[in-house]
Chain A
Amino acid sequence: MSSYSEPFVQSTTTQGDGAAGAQPVRPASKARRRAARIESVPAHRKRSLWQRIKRDRVMLLLIAPGFLYFVVFHWLPLPGNIVAFEDYQPYLGFIDSAWVGFDNFVKIFADPTFWQALRNTLVITGLQLVLFFPIPIVLALLLNSIMSNRIRKFVQSVVYLPHFLGWVIIVSIFGQVLGATGVVPHLMQAMGMQPFEAMTTPWFFPFLVSIQSAWKDAGWGTIIFLAALMNIDQELYEAAAVDGAGPWQRMKTITIPGIMPVIILLLILNLGSILSVGFEQIVLQRDNVGAGAGEVLDTWVYYHGIQNGQWGPAAAVGLVKGVVGLALVLGANKVAHLFGQEGVYSSGK
């Protein structure tokens, strides 16, 4: 038990001007002798690593399971990407499978289905970025303009809800509403339009996926913008109003610039993940529209690799996607810095 007093000593002796003479007044305890020894170490000198390990052993023990998890399931699989350079056979393993160099990459770049999957991915993420990225922003402005707390909280509760439904549930619900027996085809028929199968029409697929994403996450996406809106100094508005600025003018000159950093931050994150579409969402619906319209990079990897046993090419596609995706995040972050915005992982936040 005695060593537990050490962090206390540490925190008091290193605080403030760091003067070693600032002795804390403490009651006598079993730990006293030991603590006194440590206090005799000049405060400006850091404690040795070994001393810290000894002091932190309980903490390190508590961390161990989580650390192990990140290593085993996020870092150790990385060398597994070596499969991309092999003619991998599960029964042979990583080491004995034949090394084929860049053959798998040559193979996938010559494969039209890969390019089709890439195109589908970019169409879907691009559409989501153009059409549905602004929705949470507009919704947040709308929510923010509701003056009644009670109504605002009610609306928030409603629009956050779909975020918590899984994709299986959401796709089922959409099938019920948009599918052949749903209300939308009936409405279209009633209005004299040709009803069409929203769930199974290939050209509509990117729109369908985007609408589903918007229904699920547009409300949830407002949280971060609402936080940004709350951080705007309210006195700015008052000053502007006193100076005669109307509501629209206040929005243009105060609100929008106030949340711009957040908008840019999220835009960066979205650009960085432009090669990733919701895998679960797509894999559930790919077969409704066929691989031509429904295949994206992640489903390509899944169907070619895990379903058909083409481990090498599938891992190659996964590796290309991962490397390009990482480069995009880092690149977009760099661009944001150039524009004077705080990036995703800057300033030690």
Chain B
Amino acid sequence: MPRTRRKNRSADSARPAWMEKPSRLGITGKAIVVTLICAATIYPFLTVISTSLSDSTDIANANGLVLFPLHPTFAAYETIFSGGIVTAALVRSMLITVIGTLCSLAATVGMAYGLSRRDLAFGRFILLTALFTMLFTPGIIPSFLMVKQLGLLGSYAALVLPTLISAFNLVVVRSFFMGLPQELFEAARIDGAGDFRILVKIVLPLSKGVLAVVGLFYAVAYWNAFFNAMLYLNSDMWPLSMILRQYVLLGSPLDTASVGEISAPSQAIQMAVVVISVIPILLVYPFLQKYFTKGVLTGAVKG
């Protein structure tokens, strides 16, 4: 790492002229610490993926340190997908995530756009109604009874409606809308555009970045959620996260009836379920992270 750093100093480094040249010892120490931190983050992913691809002798010989599968095999994945349970849960999770995210985004954008008008009728009252919910929760029991009262038990709506909007995301989107140049809106109004048309034609196209971040926040939350499913759904409706809990954490065996022919070590099968749960997150992450490192989010939050 120090070498790359020296080589790129002219183009890449942000070290101002007045700052003293870092000592060789300092750079080496920093490089070691940074490398260790990255390794501690990446290693668990690596070992999970490798284990899922290993056969039983590899796992037994590795002494827990499965870094690379010596005899890579997709047996674990074949086992999982030959049965119905994991595949069905995967499809369910994807549908819940996509539909839930669309609903959440629509509700959040509508509310944030309305609240972005400074002298909105009832604006302050509505805003405080939403913001105060950051300070308290009604409690598990009253929330459960409310969902039950609404007749949502055993319905997929119970996974989406109780977590439809996060007040934090609402604030982020609203701050962004308020930061847009007001002249644009005024110009559109002169041309006769209504509030809804301004939202669709002007505001939304300008907000792709923040909508991507907030939308992916929602998507990740829906993908990972398991507690609402545990509370409200029967086991034949479980999303992937609950299947993961059942088979990996509680160690329920995947019997042949549910997954088909078992031809892989159970540890590999378990890790394969983990990998399947992680992959969607890894796929969207590269699109997400460029917004974080650019600081889009912090700007919005602070505003």
Contacts and interface: CB of A to CB of B under 8 A. Distances in A.
A131 interface: no
B185 to A, nearest CB: 8
B194 A306 contact: no
Given A147-B9, A164-B224, A322-B137, 17 more contacts: A4-B193, A5-B190, A7-B185, A26-B190, A58-B196, A77-B143, A80-B139, A142-B30, A147-B14, A151-B5, A160-B289, A173-B45, A174-B44, A186-B64, A224-B298, A237-B18, A247-B20
Describe B's contact surface by its main secondary structure: helix
B193 A155 contact: no
A226 B267 CA distance: 40
Instruction: Indicate the member of B63, B121, B122, B220 with the most A CB atoms within 10 Å.
Output: B121
B68 to A, nearest CB: 14
Interface residues of B, number: 110
A289 interface: no
Contacts, number: 314
Nearest to A51: B121
B121 A60 contact: yes
B145 A80 contact: yes
B152 to A, nearest CB: 10
Interface residues of A, number: 113
Interface string B154-171: 000000011011010010
Contacts of B30: 142, 145-146
Nearest to B131: A345
Interface string B249-276: 1000000000000000001001100100
Contact of B114 (A59, A185, A321): A59
A159 B121 contact: no
A57 to B, nearest CB: 9
A290 to B, nearest CB: 15
19 contacts: A63-B126, A65-B107, A67-B111, A69-B107, A70-B133, A73-B146, A75-B129, A76-B146, A79-B142, A80-B138, A147-B15, A148-B5, A148-B14, A166-B226, A168-B249, A173-B48, A176-B51, A318-B141, A318-B142
Contacts of A26: 190
Instruction: Indicate the member of A76, A77, A79, A329 with the most B CB atoms within 10 Å.
Output: A77
A181 B267 contact: yes
Nearest to B5: A148
B16 interface: yes
Contacts of B114: 56, 59-60, 62-63
Nearest to A223: B298
Nearest to B251: A175
Nearest to A9: B189
B293 A157 contact: yes
Interface in A253-299: 279-280, 283-285, 298
A155 B37 contact: yes
Interface stretch (A27-35, A36-44, A108-116): A27-35
Contacts of A67: 111, 126, 129-130
A24 to B, nearest CB: 9
Contact of A158 (B1, B4, B42): B42
Interface of B: 1, 4-5, 8-9, 12-16, 18-20, 22, 30, 33-34, 37-38, 40-45, 47-48, 51, 59, 63-65, 106-108, 110-111, 113-115, 117, 119-122, 126, 129-131, 133, 135-146, 150, 161-162, 164-165, 167, 170, 182, 185-186, 189-190, 192-196, 199, 220, 223-227, 231, 241, 244-245, 248-249, 267, 270-271, 274, 277-278, 281, 285, 288-289, 292-293, 295, 297-299, 301-302
A301 interface: yes
Given A70-B133, A227-B302, A173 B241 contact: no
A252 interface: no
Contacts of A171: 249
Contacts of A96: none
Given A162-B41, A219-B41, A183 B16 contact: no
A295 to B, nearest CB: 14
Describe A's contact surface by its main secondary structure: helix
A63 B111 contact: yes
Contact of B289 (A148, A157, A176, A279): A157
Contacts of B245: 168, 284
Instruction: Indicate the member of A27, A74, A80 with the most B CB atoms within 10 Å.
Output: A74
Contact of B8 (A148, A234, A326): A148
Given A52-B119, A62-B113, A238-B16, A169 B64 contact: no
